[in-house]
Structure 1
Amino acid sequence: MSCLIVEATDGYARTGCVTTRRGTFRIPAFMPVGTHGGVRALHPDEVRECGAEIVLSNAYHLALRPGLDVVERAGGIHGFMGWDGPILTDSGGYQLVSLAGAARIDNGGAVFVSPYDGTRLRVTPEEAVSIQSRLGADVIMCLDQPVAFGAGAGAAAAATARTHRWAQRCVAAHPGDGALLFGIAQGGFDEGTRRESAAFIAALGFDGNAVGGLSVGEPIAVMEAMARASTEELPEDRPRYFMGLGTDEELLTMVGMGIDMFDCVVPTRLARNGTALTADGRLSLRNSVFRDDLRPIDDACACQACARFSRAYLRHLFTAGEILAHRLVSIHNITHLSRLMRAAAAAIREQRFEAFRREVSDRLRGREPAGPRLN
């Protein structure tokens, strides 16, 4: 039985819910990233108030620090980080690119050098599943091997073949403990290889399927073409997850392709740099133009930042070096993306998704100042 219930569709876009052993979350869904077991600077209750129903943590980092034994003694990752909803954990495959100089890959798996103390961690597909199971994740990701944009065809083909072998081993290693297991389609930046990989992963019968190895610096047109090639080969009765995407226009483009789940560090990373997301584009709150701007970030948003504080106050906090600035803008940015996903779901139910997507794009590009309001 599929964990996905589709309640409405409009073209390829769909809305509904995904059920995990720890509860249900609505789709389309944006998952805030808590790499080390916490969304940066925010209390779990604040993350929930932002509209998030599922969060992401990184099994690789948690296995290194604080260590699986500590998390297990705390009752698993939910008890450790104080989040009572679904949690998806990434296996560490992305670190094979982001920490390429500190990882060695062979057909058996990968050896990572800890960025914290220099110790070595051997991760096989079986170990990746075991680590995530011991953490208590509700959605477990297979170990995969993405490639950097610009990698040669031979390197991409070898990494994709290895990803397929690792996926088979992850299926065999899954303990069947109620956690969902998601496969990851790779394929580099060749459309044919993308399709072949997605078809191979789909045939393994995962609970859900991810499109990996994109949004890593390639042109947007390339990203969209590769995502479409992958998605067209993935089954409709399973959730689809685009890994590492968090900008308004691209999120809605992918929702329009039938992708359901997204994660990204963008909302919190931008917040730490003083940038707020709005329906009219990004606001760089450190700029002097906001010194005496007493409007909220977004007058249509009811988050803690917008309900109580002005742009001028937030700029003051940033210039004064107050951590409250990071917290408030993080709350706003996560709320903004959660609202965007809810508005997309409403548009799908009302059979107006494509018009909604165009309106959002036009407003961001300054072509439609009246634009839609996110509810």
Structure 2
Amino acid sequence: MSRFSFQIRAVAGRARCAVLHTPHGEIQTPAFMPVGTKASVKGVTPDQLVAASASIILANTYHLALRPGADIVAEMGGLHRFMSWDRPILTDSGGFQVFSLATLNSIDDDGVTFKSHIDGAVLRLSPAEAVEIQEKLGADIIMAFDQCPPLPASPDLLRQAVDRTIRWARDCRDAKRRDDQALFGIVQGGLDLDLRCRCLDEIVKLDFPGYAIGGLSVGEAPEEMAAFLNEFTHRMPDDRPRYLMGVGRPIDILRAVNTGVDMFDCVLPTRNGRNAFAFCDAGFVRIRNSRYKTDPRPLVENCDCYACSHFSRAYLRHLFLAGEMLGPMLVSLHNIAYYQRLMRRIRETIAAGTFHELLAAFAAFEAGLTTTVDNEDAE
């Protein structure tokens, strides 16, 4: 078997479950990748990630290139050894962060000149350099360098971003040297279906082993994104993994899976965990609420994660009010476990032909037809 392969195991409408084989193990899809921005998923150890059933994590090329630097990571044996994670890793190209975090100096058809958000140093990033950095980091899946405009964006900006994304994808393909990494292409074009299709057609000609949908969840309404994906996702090659970048609300994941998306990433599980928001099917448990002061129940009923198996809502609330770091760690761990359990349910219902029932249940929660979302104000 080759180092990388993608095999579809079951379908339900356009939703599909599959297995993606990589040098560091297989990934059951649909899959959600916890985000380890700086080679660390905030507040969660690698062993805890494994216990929560995470099969792949995402690391951030932009941040790691600035600190500690790709050369240091390579000298330490690559990202897997550096962060003690022996399962698959995906690194982004740094493009989104260059356009969203850094002070942008100039952009041209060959790359981007920008100032570091850390120390203001003037830096240059080209498609070839983005690939070189990711090859030094050593992730299993690496991403092409692209231009990601915010939404809404003018037609001229979207066309310019698509033209550069196509050119840069070709440059990334030509710069790639390692055969133990899979380089995924990224499709841009905002909510303009014709522009997206033009970008997709050109990117597919480059024959990448996987394709990502970039430039969504960057300002448009969730309903707009869902409607667009319903018209677009099925046009992507059906024999390659499809990755929707930066989307993480459970209902958005389910709707995207329904269109044929296979892979997701988002900071929501850990960011919300640090802010005392615990995910459940019907929304959130806001653990700071005064109603939980003497509540002996677990954070979320029928959850077998470490936090829910060992601690009460009263204790978790105490941790947050006391400023103890264990509180954010435990709720983050719960949220990661919740997401992995959700993805497992998605795969199981696709295989059983009942996925649309799961989607309908979450849509009902979203519409407020049945809900246990905690609406009481925190103290």
- TM-score, normalisation: structure 2: 0.94
**In the alignment, does 2:165 pair up with 1:166?**
no
In the alignment, the residues of structure 1 paired with residue 125 and residue 317 of structure 2 have an alpha-carbon distance, to the nearest angstrom, of: 44
Residue of structure 2 equivalent to 1:316:
318
- Seen in structure 2, the aligned counterparts of structure 1 residues 361 and 226 have a Cα distance that, compared at 3 Å, is closer
Give the counterpart letter for 1:248 in structure 2.
P
**Equivalent residue runs for 1:122-137 within 5 Å:** 122-137=124-139
Q: Secondary structure at the match of 2:50?
A: helix
Structure 1 position 102, deviation (Å): 3.6
Structure 1 position 167, deviation (Å): 0.4
* C-alpha contact 1:96 1:146 (8 A) present in aligned 2: no
CA offsets 1:278-324 (integer angstroms, 9 cap, x no match):
01211111121221222112121100110011111111100000000
In the alignment, the residues of structure 2 paired with residue 46 and residue 335 of structure 1 have an alpha-carbon distance, to the nearest angstrom, of: 9
Residue of structure 1 equivalent to 2:292:
290
Q: Which among 236, 239, 243 is matched to residue 238 of structure 2?
A: 236
In the alignment, the residues of structure 2 paired with residue 9 and residue 3 of structure 1 have an alpha-carbon distance, to the nearest angstrom, of: 18
CA offsets 1:133-164 (integer angstroms, 9 cap, x no match):
11111101000001111211001100110000
Residue of structure 2 equivalent to 1:31:
33
Gapped regions of structure 1 (runs ≥ 5): 371-375
Q: Equivalent pairs: percent with the same residue?
A: 46
Residue of structure 2 equivalent to 1:205:
207
Give the counterpart letter for 2:120 in structure 1.
G
Structure 1 position 187, deviation (Å): 0.4
In the alignment, the residues of structure 2 paired with residue 336 and residue 352 of structure 1 have an alpha-carbon distance, to the nearest angstrom, of: 20
**Equivalent residue runs for 1:1-375 within 5 Å:** 3-99=5-101, 101-368=103-370
Gapped regions of structure 2 (runs ≥ 5): 373-379
Structure 1 position 103, deviation (Å): 4.9
- TM-score, normalisation: structure 1: 0.95
Give the counterpart letter for 1:24 in structure 2.
E
Q: Could you say what the CA RMSD is over the residues aligned between the two structures, in angstroms?
A: 1.5
In the alignment, the residues of structure 1 paired with residue 201 and residue 303 of structure 2 have an alpha-carbon distance, to the nearest angstrom, of: 41
Structure 1 position 97, deviation (Å): 3.2
Q: Secondary structure at the match of 2:49?
A: helix
In the alignment, the residues of structure 2 paired with residue 355 and residue 104 of structure 1 have an alpha-carbon distance, to the nearest angstrom, of: 49
Structure 1 position 330, deviation (Å): 0.5
* C-alpha contact 1:4 1:239 (8 A) present in aligned 2: yes
Give the counterpart letter for 1:208 in structure 2.
G
In the alignment, the residues of structure 2 paired with residue 112 and residue 3 of structure 1 have an alpha-carbon distance, to the nearest angstrom, of: 37
Structure 1 position 100, deviation (Å): 5.5
* C-alpha contact 1:157 1:188 (8 A) present in aligned 2: no
Give the counterpart letter for 1:75 in structure 2.
G
In the alignment, the residues of structure 2 paired with residue 364 and residue 108 of structure 1 have an alpha-carbon distance, to the nearest angstrom, of: 43
* C-alpha contact 1:22 1:86 (8 A) present in aligned 2: yes
In the alignment, the residues of structure 2 paired with residue 124 and residue 288 of structure 1 have an alpha-carbon distance, to the nearest angstrom, of: 51
Structure 1 position 173, deviation (Å): 1.1
* C-alpha contact 2:283 2:371 (8 A) present in aligned 1: no
Structure 1 position 365, deviation (Å): 4.4
In the alignment, the residues of structure 1 paired with residue 279 and residue 322 of structure 2 have an alpha-carbon distance, to the nearest angstrom, of: 21
Corresponding residue pairs, total: 370
In the alignment, the residues of structure 2 paired with residue 354 and residue 313 of structure 1 have an alpha-carbon distance, to the nearest angstrom, of: 37
